[in-house]
Structure 1
Amino acid sequence: MATLTPDEKRPRVSDSPTELIPGLQDPTSDHDEAAAAAAAEEEVYSIYTGTARNLIVMTASVAGFFSPLSANIYLPALDTLADELHVSDTMINLTITTYMIFQGLAPAIFGGLADTAGRRPAYILCFTIYIAANIGLALQRNYAALLVLRCLQSTGSSSTIAIANAIVADIVTPAERGLYIGYGSAGSVFGPSLGPIIGGLLTQFLGWPSIFWFLVIFAAVFFLPLLFFLPETARKVVGNGSHPAPPWNLSFLQLCKRSKSTTPGTTTVQNRITFPNPLKTLIILSDKEVFLILLGNSLAFAGYYAASTSITSQFSAIYHFNEVQIGLCFIPVGVGSLIAAYTQGQIANWNYRRHARRSGMSISTTRGQNMDEFPLERARTEVILPLILIEGLALIAYGWVLHYETNLAGPLILLLCIGYTSGATMNIMSVLMVDIYPESPATATGANNLTRCWLGAVATGVIVPMIEGMGRGWAFTVIGFLCFLCGPVIGVVWGWGHAWRRERHRREKERN
């Protein structure tokens, strides 16, 4: 990053990001007051506050909606597609498995792009690929094309969650990050509940191709406002937001504002853009603390994937539901995840403040703080350890109520519990990953997606054969006990993670 003089750091009135989004402090035209304002901006963590911050997080949240929406809107159509394409349930489930493989792989590439080039270029590339893939899916009529295009669809949509978490890390301090990660992931947790309902209705009344035409229209309608209004937030590109982005990385609104200005331009942050290196994700995974965090998170979320994937085939066989009825059965999973996004964020922030008071550390919601001496690992993992036990028990109970074909209320209530506990675990572990890798939040979240989605892909691929070979009850008993394993894994992070993080930072300082 280039060193800027005080004059270069002072934002122009006409080009300052504060002018382009409401809710920011406007610099005055007076020289001394502008210099003081610029100095103040350099001290605060981000210039985006109030309404501006909320709008940016909301936009990121809606963008994150597309990945789980695309995964789940497809589920009610599985039986219909299997019949029309003349393939087995196991083969049609393979299109879910491959989707999740690319859901884990793509963020490793696009996360690096978002951390170096910026959030906006990554979004533009993602949505271009996503819209093209959905057009192809709507037009294809054979299994091979369906399989390949689902992988391309996943490639375009799956990085939006990683970018959403990165945007939250750009503009929100650790003291409030637990809540805002929940807000940022709210869009992604609507997918499991709304997606199957929309997919069931479209499949029932308009046919399965209408699913993909719907996604094309929805993505295009969202993508255009994103181009016009979303500012760049990547700290390597715009710092705390007070440095203007390069001209090619400005929103159309910012370009219009700049073209009307006659004031000389300010110096931008000089950031070298390199081709995204997915090996950076593997480097992050080589850290023992990160490996254990992601292993625990993945085990917990594999249970969610196994349960949600089983709904279509099992509820159709047991309760003889059509596509619309099956779609409605996904509501409890999504509602549980949505409740988790808001309640666990509040609990995470409360536990953070409790540990801060115990450590004698002052809490700032406007300025960044050195976290080396703060036990972030304990503050985050303490609130999810009880949830892991509940999720494992709920998975075991879910398998046996399906086995005995009980009243529909039984599996639906258990799906609500599974959605809540797995969603809460994912949110808190996402916060922790951003906390310990604040310099590359999109890459860190990409590593999270890689392990979570790949282990989830295994769960979706084996759950139907397990049910056929072992029965519903014993299949989910095995899944439940695998979920229990993440308790000891997270317990190790709770006990030794802080010391490992400080040692890693010490080694990095010595190398530099």
Structure 2
Amino acid sequence: MTEGTGGKASSALSDTATVQSLNGALDPCDRSDSSAPHKAPSGFKHFLASRLKPFAPVDQDPRTLRKLQKVLILACTAASSSLPGFCSTIYFPALPIIIQDLQASSIAVTMTTSLFVLFMGIAPVFWASFSDHFYIRRPIYLATLLVFAGASIGSAFVNNVWVLVVLRCLQSCGASAGSALGPGTVADCFEVWERGTAMGMMFVGSFFGPLLGPIIGGFLTSGLGWRSTFWFCFALGAVLWLLMFFVMPETYRREEVWGPTAKGAILNGKSKEMDVEANRPASDEKTETTAGLDEKAEEQKEAEDRAEYQAPDGPTEELPDHATTANPNKRGRLNPLASLYLLRHPFVLLSSLESGIAFGTMFTIETVIPGQYQSVYGLPTDIIGLTFLGAGVGNILGASMGGKLSDFFLRRAKDKRGGGYLPEDRIVPTVWPGGFFFIPFGALLFGWAVERHLNLAAPIVGFGILCFGLMQIFGCVSTYLVDAMPGKGASATAAANFTRMVMACALSLVANPLVAAVGPGYLGVLLAALNVVCMLAVVLLKFKGVALRAYSGY
């Protein structure tokens, strides 16, 4: 008995060293000598080394980081996620001026925004594939921000609209890493029952960016000219790069190393290990008569796995409790388009459909606002930018309320299931009024208020209501995808993001021609009808999601 207790204590004491050695072996870019004795670095030296090393190993479970550090990581992630939307719209108020200054056609200048949105969907597919293949997040954030900053400088000097189109595509590629890696980073650092609130805060950045952009862009354009918007983008990218460099550690969390949940995590007074047991299917439970035999078999398998994990020239170390028996070094060939391949799964495609139409609706209205507010209400560029504040308020309220309610309903569902939960529990009751009422009503109010030349407050309020409803859809569906595909959060998000951006690009290209043909009122009718029809996909996902995931092997 004493010997067994001593062995367990020895195993517990060696957990940290073992995980560090495992992470060193798992890191594809780590070329350090595994036989050298590991010496834990001091605080500042460890911090500096982790920031200067391009591919620093994850030597601590990201879910056990201090709360302040998690908040800082979440803030950086939200800021990175806001870049694409912010930079896609910052020069919306300047579009008429750019047409005159570059002597370009309206469709050519519109392409600088539509193709920007399209590449917001294409580029994250590659970033997510690189992230999930090499088990990294931080290097991709930093590298893409450099691309973004360089393209922003180039855009400030262009004198040809087609050069601007190319540079805007590059700028979009550099800005869009946060769209794919952001939800994965949140999943790295936050447990399931706190993930909804964290996702909501991240999406405040994602959706406040497109609405803050025109406000700042309007004042910059009226005071310093349209080129100043790109200098602002460069400065923003440089500041964000510095924040990421000093604040953001590598967070890629591998379940085969750390387990499905953090060790010792607590939910409602119950240990997380109990919660994991409750979440297992009944077919996996052991009976008392076979428990002893199974334990012996597991001990023998653990002994074999320890031998497999033993460093080439180092001492034998015990396998940590949270490491699984899978071979973590085994990986397939890199496929940059692997994220798109996930759209073959019906539940991924259905998740992307309504969120894509809802996002496209928001972006379509953003596209038509400058021209309509200028022609109907006679507003200058700086005041046009201020009108987006109503949508910003809707986004913030929707994200903060939606995230907290999502976590509340998930905890309630877990209690009803005796501690277990299903990813479909993320599709909470707030989704239904968001998709069936708020978004359609907001689109109709905006369109017909402009059509009938009603008071300016009416379309502003309508757009704000639409954005509030959008956040109820977007937060729940995005968190559902991350929960439904553990370990593939970035890739699943990139696939959904690709669908959203393709829809937003298509809708924004036809937005102004549609307004010219049928008027803003009937544009609102079309957008409202599209959202109601696509909400049926969410209904199907809620009630048939388990079967659809089982069909796809999830």
The TM-score with structure 2 as length reference comes to 0.76
Which residue number in structure 2 is paired with residue 81 of structure 1?
98
Deviation at 1:45, TM superposition (A): 7.5
Question: Structure 1 CA distance, aligned partners of 2:43 and 2:407?
Answer: 29
Q: CA deviation at 1:495?
A: 1.2
Taking the TM superposition and a 5 Å limit, the aligned residue runs for 1:329-478 are 329-361=387-419, 374-389=421-436, 390-478=438-526
Structure 1: gaps spanning 5 or more residues: 22-40, 243-263, 363-373, 507-512
* Bigger Rg, which one: 2
- Over 3 Å counting, the alpha-carbon distance change for 1:458 and 1:10 in structure 2 is closer
Letter of the structure 2 residue corresponding to residue 439 of structure 1: G
Matches of 1:19 and 1:187, distance apart in 2: 32
Question: Could you give the per-residue CA deviations for residues 223-254 of structure 1, whole angstroms, max 9, x where no partner exists?
Answer: 12322331100014995499xxxxxxxxxxxx
Measured at CA, do residues 497 and 318 of structure 1 come closer, stay the same or move farther in structure 2, by a change above 3 Å?
same
The residue identity in structure 2 corresponding to 1:483 is N
- d(CA) in 2 for partners of 1:306, 1:428: 22
Contact 2:198 2:403 in 1 (8 A): yes
Q: Are residues 172 and 19 of structure 1, via their aligned partners in 2, closer, same or farther at CA, if it must alter by over 3 Å? A: farther
SS in 1 for 2:553: helix
CA distance in 1, matches of 2:227, 2:469: 34
**Secondary structure of 1:46's match?**
helix
Deviation at 1:13, TM superposition (A): 7.4
Residues 1:9 and 2:44 are matched in the alignment:
no
Q: Partners of 2:157 and 2:515 in 1: how far apart?
A: 33
Deviation string 1:298-335 (CA, Å, 9 cap, x unpaired) is: 12222111111111111011111111011101111122
* Alpha-carbon distance in 2 for matches of 1:376, 1:230: 28
- In 2, are the aligned partners of 1:114 and 1:442 still within 8 Å (CA)? yes
Distance 2:253 2:42 in 1: 16
C-alpha separation in 2, matches of 1:15 and 1:194: 42
Report SS of the residue matched to 1:485. Answer: helix
Amino-acid identity (%):
29
Shift of 1:7: 7.2
Alignment of 1:162-181 (within 5 A): 162-181=180-199
CA distance in 1, matches of 2:539, 2:62: 32
Displacement, 1:52?
1.8
Structure 1 residue 336: deviation in Å? 1.1
CA shift, 1:277, in A, is: 2.5
- AA at the equivalent of 1:184: M
Deviation per residue, 1:23-66 (Å, 9 max, x gap): xxxxxxxxxxxxxxxxxx99x77221411211211121122221
AA at the equivalent of 1:9: T
For residues 251 and 512 of structure 2, the distance between their equivalents in structure 1, rounded to whole angstroms, comes to: 43
Deviations 1:180-221 (A, max 9, x none): 011222222221232111111111111111111111112112
Q: Structure 1 residue runs of 4+, over 6 Å off?
A: 16-21, 266-270, 272-275
Q: What are the Cα deviations for residues 247-302 of structure 1, in whole angstroms up to 9, with x where unaligned?
A: xxxxxxxxxxxxxxxxx9x9999757888523212221000111111112112222
Alignment partner, residue 50 of structure 1: 67
Residues 334 and 406 of structure 1, relative CA distance in 2, 3 Å threshold? same
Change in 2 beyond 3 A, CA 1:493/1:326 = same
Mapped partners of 1:20, 1:186: distance in 2: 33
* CA contact 1:116–1:271 (8 Å) conserved in 2: no
Match of 1:252 in 2: none
- Which deviates more from structure 2 when the two are superposed, residues 342-351 or residues 90-99? 90-99
Whole-Å separation in 2 of the counterparts to 1:409 and 1:491 = 33
Asked if 2 retains the 8 angstrom alpha-carbon contact of 1:192 and 1:333, the reply is no
Equivalent position SS for 1:405: coil
Give 1:177's aligned amino acid: R
For residues 34-433 of structure 1, what are the structure 2 equivalents within 5 Å?
46-117=63-134, 118-236=136-254, 239-240=257-258, 277-361=335-419, 374-389=421-436, 390-433=438-481
Q: How far 1:114 moved relative to its partner?
A: 2.0
Flag the 1:324–1:490 CA change in 2: closer, same or farther, 3 A: same
Q: Distance in 2 between matches of 1:80 and 1:479?
A: 29
Deviation larger for 412-421 or 44-53? 44-53
CA distance in 2, matches of 1:273, 1:328: 50
- What is the distance in 2 between the residues matched to 1:82 and 1:275? 46
Displacement after TM superposition at 1:171 (Å):
1.2
1:345 CA displacement:
0.2
Distance 1:226 1:273 in 2: 28
Distance in 1 separating the partners of 2:240 and 2:347: 37
- Give the drift of 1:131: 0.8
**Deviation for aligned residue 1:413:** 0.5
Structure 1 residues 17 and 400 mapped into 2: Cα distance closer, same or farther (>3 Å)?
farther
Matched length: 450
What is the Cα deviation at residue 422 of structure 1? 1.4
Mapped partners of 1:397, 1:15: distance in 2: 60
TM-score computed with the length of structure 1 as normaliser: 0.82
